[in-house]
């Protein structure tokens, strides 16, 4: 790990739109990491000691273990529009969800205690992260409603759109098994859906990678959840959510 420079903070949309004095307040407390897919940012049940900010096209995801069979469901995808750890709870309490790196890349890490002190010192900073907390909870609420009401095909399109919006180009490093975890369904269901999307020319695949070939058509296939989350982010934190 090494200290970041201010240019690297600008690769996280949430940090890039801070006031100059608030970015300067946080900068000495950050360290940068190059992380791999599946690296663990926080474990469920452990105290939240750090807050992580994905930069550029790196992605993190929250996973919930729903039974004793090591079966996880991913409930939120976090890219450069957000942060992981100590945002809603203010940290230093057990994490309810495990957070993993979904797409490799640069992450900035700050001690949650340092972030909390900065929020005490700056009411603008406190309000800014409170607004992000609202957006993150909205995303999780929307996912719960989506899982209960929309088809696997619609939800597949939604997650692929959410991932590609946060990465450079149209490629997503993700296996079908990982996509099945995002959806909370068996891999066989995902395989059938992906086969149909390939036949229609909406996506193509190679080992461990999805390529979105027709984003407009994929958006039509998706449920309305993507647009609803984009609208909420735009209302609460204009310009933060990545929209192509």
pLDDT digits (tens, 9 = 90+) for 25-64: 999 999 999 999 889 999 988 888 999 999 998 999 888 7
The maximal CA–CA distance of the chain, rounded, in angstroms, is 56
* 66 three-state secondary structure: coil
Per residue in 137-189, pLDDT (tens digit) is: 998 898 889 888 999 999 999 989 888 888 777 888 888 887 887 787 888 99
The CATH number of 151-222 is 1.10.10.10
Burial class (CB in 10 A: 0-12, 13-18, 19+), 74: buried
The ranges assigned to domains in the chain are 6-133, 151-222
**pLDDT tens string 63-90:** 877 665 566 677 888 999 999 987 765 5
31 contacts 108 by C-beta, under 8 angstroms: yes
Q: List the beta strands (DSSP E) in the chain.
A: 31-35, 40-42, 50-54, 59-65, 72-78, 98-103, 105-111, 171-173, 203-206, 209-212
Q: Provide the whole-model pTM.
A: 0.88
Neighbouring residues of 25: CB distance < 8 A, sequence distance ≥ 6: 118, 121, 122, 125
Q: Which CATH superfamily is domain 6-133 in?
A: Jelly Rolls (2.60.120.10)
């Amino acid at each position: 790990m090494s200290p970041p420079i201010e240019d690297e903070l600008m690769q996280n949309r949430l940090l890039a739109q801070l006031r100059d004095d608030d970015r300067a307040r946080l900068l000495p407390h950050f360290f940068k990491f190059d992380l791999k897919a599946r690296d663990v940012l926080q474990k469920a049940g452990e105290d939240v000691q750090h807050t992580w900010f994905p930069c550029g096209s790196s992605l993190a995801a929250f996973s919930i273990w729903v039974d004793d069979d090591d079966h996880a469901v991913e409930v939120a995808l976090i890219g450069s529009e957000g942060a992981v750890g100590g945002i809603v709870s203010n940290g230093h309490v057990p994490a309810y969800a495990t957070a993993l790196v979904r797409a490799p890349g640069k992450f900035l890490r700050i001690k949650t205690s340092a972030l909390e002190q900065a929020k005490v010192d700056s009411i603008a900073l406190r309000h800014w992260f409170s607004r992000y907390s609202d957006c993150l909870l909205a995303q999780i609420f929307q996912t719960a409603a989506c899982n209960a009401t929309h088809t696997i095909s619609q939800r597949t399109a939604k997650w692929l759109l959410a991932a590609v919006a946060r990465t450079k180009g149209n490629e997503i490093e993700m296996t079908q098994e990982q996509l099945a975890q995002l959806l909370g369904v068996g891999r066989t269901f995902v395989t059938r859906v992906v086969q149909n999307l390939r036949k229609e020319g909406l996506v193509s695949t190679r080992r461990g990678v999805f390529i979105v070939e027709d984003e407009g058509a994929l958006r039509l296939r998706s449920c309305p959840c993507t647009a609803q989350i984009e609208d909420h982010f735009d209302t609460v934190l204009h310009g933060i959510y990545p929209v192509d």
